[in-house]
Amino acid sequence: MSTEQPITAADKLRELKLPVSSKINYKLDSVYPVLKGWFVNGGIKKKHKLIKQSEATLEEILRPGEEVLYVAKGVQYSFWEQYFLGVWANMINQTVFVLTNARLLLFHTNTSGKPKDMYWMIYYSEIVQFKTSWFNGALVVKLKDGKTFKFAGFTGTDKKQMPLVFKAAAASYQERGFNPKVTQSRENLCSHCYTVVPKGETICESCGAEFWKPKDVALRSLMFPSWGDFVMGHYIIGFMELIGYIVWWVIVGTVLVAGIAKGDPEGLVAALLALGALFAFAHIPDAILTYYIASKGLNRRRPPDPSRIAADEPAEVDAQLQ
């Protein structure tokens, strides 16, 4: 009979000298499910590095009693974004998944996994399907309100483990009869205090921070392509668009100058057509794309302001944790 003790994730992390925050309630054996095998240390180190990037956020976002069960990073995938933005779409779609015993937290991050300024949460009762597609290996999350999100870039272990964690957490919801009210399946969280900001709202009732209305950002892009992207802090995409827009203006400007110089009706018609084309092919598509991107979550507009705070209500998430 073997007397060898089964190794725990806590032992393994100690052995590899990978410290974790004592302020965060990790269920380590669930967060690090694979502890044995070839090249396992590399995988553990990589995951630890990813989790470290989110620890400061987790310390603030987690409710008392909330346990971290799994953390992984993927890239949200949408056909239209890939079509219009190409590789740049990946920059605005890096998403860290944190599965806790109460909910699924989603952080928009940079490519190395550091949370940026968009946060969401999904109660497990709002998830209809959480599984890997046999077709292309993407992780597909189908929600009660009809929305479907697809993610690429998860590891094989992530794709195996997350649905299991989800299943167990969903079962615990059922057992407790926990079925919280939501304003949309994937709720937006305030990027200052992490309170739910209800669907369609742009002011956080808890800290008074203000966010952009998607139509206001889109209107800016309609007036001046790339303006909306700069407002949302998507500087690289905004800059690329600005270059495209300048190229447009070089072409349109040439036709305009020639048309006006000619001074005859034909020249003026050509000039008007050039302006119309500029609007149709630069301003309008950018406004539509900006609206779509701005609608994904909350974009910071004004910092927290006590004068905008509404009455305090206990968070529903606490009910699952008691």
Sites of contact with Zn ion (CB under 5 A)? 190, 192-193, 195, 204, 206-207, 209
283, exposed or middle or buried, with CB in 10 Å at 0-12, 13-18, 19+? Answer: middle
What does the H/E/C string look like for 273-317? HHHHHHHHHHHHHHHHHHHHHHCCCCCEEECCCHHHCCCCCCCCH
CB 306 within 8 A of CB 208: yes
Q: How far is the CB of 190 from Zn ion (least distance, A)?
A: 3
Least Å distance, CB 191 to Zn ion, is: 8
Q: Rounded to the nearest whole angstrom, what is the least distance from the CB of residue 125 to Zn ion in the complex? A: 24
The distance of closest approach from Cβ of residue 193 to Zn ion in the complex, given in angstroms and rounded to an integer, is: 3
**Residue 274: CB minimum distance to Zn ion, A:** 46
Nearer of residues 103 and 192 to Zn ion, judged by Cβ: 192
Which runs of E-coded beta strand occur in 78-227? 94-100, 104-109, 115-122, 127-132, 139-143, 148-152, 186-189, 196-197, 210-211
Q: Which CB, 29 or 210, lies closer to Zn ion? A: 210
Which tokens hold the place of 128?
């209809």
86: left (phi over 0), alpha (psi -120 to 50) or beta: left
Return the residue matching tokens 């987790």: 58
Spatial contact of 246 and 319, defined as CB atoms under 8 Å apart: no
Q: Which of 298, 286, 294 is nearest to 84 (CA)?
A: 286
Nearer to Zn ion, 41 or 195 (CB): 195
Q: Which residues does residue 28 pair with via DSSP β-bridges, in sequence order?
A: none
C-alpha to C-alpha distance for 195 and 48, rounded to whole angstroms: 27
Nearer to Zn ion, 264 or 312 (CB): 312
Nearer to Zn ion, 262 or 302 (CB): 302
Report the SS3 class of residue 147.
Answer: coil
Q: Could you tell me the smallest distance in angstroms from the CB atom of residue 292 to Zn ion?
A: 24
DSSP bridge pairs for 149: 141
User: Smaller CB distance to Zn ion: residue 141 or 209?
Assistant: 209
Q: How far is Cα 281 from Cα 267, in angstroms, rounded to an integer?
A: 21
* Smallest distance from Zn ion to CB 25, Å: 23
| Chain Cα centroid distance, residue 101 | 20
Taking the least distance from each CB to Zn ion, the nearer of 56 and 247 is 56
For Zn ion, the closer of residues 35 and 207 by Cβ is 207
Shortest separation between residue 92's beta carbon and Zn ion, angstroms = 22
